[in-house]
Amino acid sequence: MTYIIHRNLRQTPPVAVGSHGMTIVDSRGRTYLDASGGAAVSSLGHSHRDVLEAMHQQIDRLAYAHTSFFTTDVAEELAARMAYDAPGDLDHVYLVSGGSEAIETALKMARQYFVEAGETQRSVFIARRQSYHGNTLGALALGGNEFRRKPFAPLLMDVKRVSACYEYRDRGQGQTLGDYTATLAAELDAAIVAAGPENVIGFCAETVVGATGGAIPATPGYFKAVREVCDRHGVLLIADEVMCGMGRTGTLYAFEQENILPDIVALGKGLGAGYQPIGAVVARNHVVQRMRGGSGVFQHGHTYVGHPVAAAAALAVQRVIQRDCLLGAVTVRGAALRRMLRDAFGDHPHVGDIRGRGLFWALELVKDRDSKEPFAPELKLHAAVKAQAMACGLMVYPMGGTIDGERGDHVLLAPPFIATEDDLGEIVARLGDALARAL
Ligand code: PLP
């Protein structure tokens, strides 16, 4: 073992020593094709020259300035660009160091929004059972992943929970999509009423569910319906786009495809595409104006907020996405990946569902396709798939039955936006090999 406290305390992972484009190389010279962008992070692939150069230039000019003394031109430019690119009046940006920090920031901002109006009794957040919002205590409390929450349960705030939008498993036989969607909106409505609308701060949801479920887009009209419920009760809608945002689904924000405007959006991963640790909260005018007109301060802050080198990396990532028309590429390549996955696994006896959007796809693995019975959690099939994929020189992001043990294993794919059709073909072929070995 090494001195690092690794995720698995009994096993040291391969040592990554180099990278280029779609691949990472380890110290034994083995090459891994990155089909998941790590955990949906590396949207531009690895060692992208433009991003590296932007970071070098920034380090040479100014590596760090604490935000209690200064702002920086690069952070201002990034925020201005993000505000310009975001729809509606999502005009205000708070830069942090990752996804969990973005969620913590969103929670505090939402609470302060009501405190500024004298509504200090508001303390309730509502989130969905099938969700992951991060590993810090606030974000962990919000998430629905029982397995991750359990050891820390006494430390976590009480969050009210509603069903996620998970058509494959939860839409009843004979139930129309419209009825299913309406049932979910009614469930949220009932949860707000039960808590007392005057006590509720916000409803938080991943626009496309990521790690806890696997690339599950909402049914048509779901987000419009929950937006309407939130509005009716004066409750904020917080979109967690840490995994699905920044182009991953073919639009910069996944919620653009739902025709809604959340009040607060959390970003991470693809914002800096792995070149630097960076996340952000993007907030609408009314949220920030109320704090500005009230106490005049946002009671929050970390040492590394607005870090100039992280901002330079994220700005370069945004420029490359626009210059190289990568949102269009995500849509086109996403359609190709979908076709390839359906051709390869559409009749596979243990692939129950193939779903996703853009370059964000998942296979749900089941013991039995007809009954949708999952594999037993004790089998840890997701771990076996990951190990076999690595043996085949492929990085994918599998997860296991984590919601009260009843939901199955899935394999998440989130390849870099620079992937060619040949890369995608190779990913699907190697995934087929890995599944054949693991199942
Ligand atoms: N929210 C979502 C939807 C995520 O997928 C993740 C990470 O996987 C997070 C929040 C937490 O982000 P981070 O791991 O950068 O803290």
Residue 1: inside a domain, yes or no? no
Residues with CB under 6 A from ligand 1: 39, 98-100, 103, 132-134, 206, 210-211, 240, 242-243, 268
User: What is the atom index within ligand 1 of the atom nearest the CA of 134?
Assistant: 11
Q: In terms of domains, do 210 and 155 share one?
A: yes
Residue 391: inside a domain, yes or no? yes
Candidate of 96, 100, 271 to mutate for ligand 1, largest count of ligand atoms within 8 Å of Cβ: 100
Question: Where residue 277 sits, what CATH number does that domain have?
Answer: 3.40.640.10
Residue 69: inside a domain, yes or no? yes
Q: In terms of domains, do 41 and 65 share one?
A: no
Concatenated DSSP letters of 65-109: --TTT---HHHHHHHHHHHHHSSTT--EEEEESSHHHHHHHHHHH
Q: In terms of domains, do 175 and 236 share one?
A: yes
Q: What is the pLDDT of residues 98-149, one digit of tens each?
A: 999 999 999 999 999 999 999 999 999 999 999 999 999 999 999 998 888 9
Please tell me the predicted confidence (pLDDT) of residue 404: 53
Q: In terms of domains, do 367 and 245 share one?
A: no
Q: In terms of domains, do 338 and 410 share one?
A: yes
Which carries the bigger pLDDT value, residue 7 or residue 44?
A: 44
C-alpha 26 to ligand 1 mean position (Å):
25
Residue 8: inside a domain, yes or no? no
C-alpha 158 to ligand 1 mean position (Å):
20
Return the number of other C-beta atoms located less than 10 Å from residue 101's C-beta: 28
Residue 11: inside a domain, yes or no? no
Helix and strand numbers, DSSP H then E, in the chain: 14, 17
* Average pLDDT across the chain, whole number: 96
- Considering its fold, how many domains does the chain have in total? 2
What range does the domain containing 303 cover? Answer: 52-323
Supply 203's token pair.
């409803």
Q: In terms of domains, do 331 and 260 share one?
A: no
Q: In terms of domains, do 188 and 214 share one?
A: yes
Identify the domain boundary among 323, 338, 353.
323
Question: Where residue 418 sits, what CATH number does that domain have?
Answer: 3.90.1150.10
Candidate of 206, 208, 269 to mutate for ligand 1, largest count of ligand atoms within 8 Å of Cβ: 269
Q: In terms of domains, do 386 and 272 share one?
A: no
Q: Answer whether residue 403 shows pLDDT above 60.
A: no
Identify the domain boundary among 271, 300, 323.
323
Q: In terms of domains, do 368 and 290 share one?
A: no
Question: d(Cα 428, Cα 345) in Å, to the nearest integer?
Answer: 9
Q: In terms of domains, do 395 and 355 share one?
A: yes
Residue 214: inside a domain, yes or no? yes
C-alpha 267 to ligand 1 mean position (Å):
9
How would you write 237-283 as a 3-class SS string? EEEECCCCCCCCCCCCCHHHHHCCCCCEEEECHHHCCCCCCCEEEEE
Is residue 399 within a helix (H) or strand (E), and if so which, with residue range?
Answer: strand 397-399
Identify the domain boundary among 323, 346, 366.
323
Q: Which residue owns the Cα nearest ligand 1 atom 5?
A: 243
Q: In terms of domains, do 312 and 335 share one?
A: no
Is residue 46 within a helix (H) or strand (E), and if so which, with residue range?
Answer: none
Q: Which residue owns the Cα nearest ligand 1 atom 15?
A: 99
Q: Once rounded to an integer, what is the mean pLDDT over residues 225-233? A: 98
C-alpha 369 to ligand 1 mean position (Å):
30
What predicted TM-score, i.e. pTM, was given to this entire model?
0.98
Q: Answer for the pair 337, 361: CB distance below 8 angstroms, yes or no.
A: yes
400: pLDDT confidence band, cut at 50, 70 and 90? confident
- In sequence order, what are the residues at sequence separation of 6 or more whose Cβ sits closer than 8 angstroms to the Cβ of residue 144? 127, 128, 129, 130, 131, 132, 161, 164, 212, 403
C-alpha 110 to ligand 1 mean position (Å):
19
329: pLDDT confidence band, cut at 50, 70 and 90? very high
C-alpha 201 to ligand 1 mean position (Å):
21
Q: In terms of domains, do 288 and 341 share one?
A: no
Residue 7: inside a domain, yes or no? no
**Which phi and psi angles does 200 have, rounded to 5°?**
-90, 135
Residue 6: inside a domain, yes or no? no
Concatenated DSSP letters of 113-155: HHHTTT-TT--EEEEESS----SSHHHHHHS--HHHHGGGGGG
Question: d(Cα 182, Cα 162) in Å, to the nearest integer?
Answer: 13
User: What is the atom index within ligand 1 of the atom nearest the CA of 100?
Assistant: 16
Q: What is the pLDDT of residues 243-260, one digit of tens each?
A: 999 999 999 999 999 999
Please tell me the predicted confidence (pLDDT) of residue 406: 58
Question: d(Cα 291, Cα 187) in Å, to the nearest integer?
Answer: 31
Is residue 4 within a helix (H) or strand (E), and if so which, with residue range?
Answer: none
Q: State the DSSP code for 361.
A: E
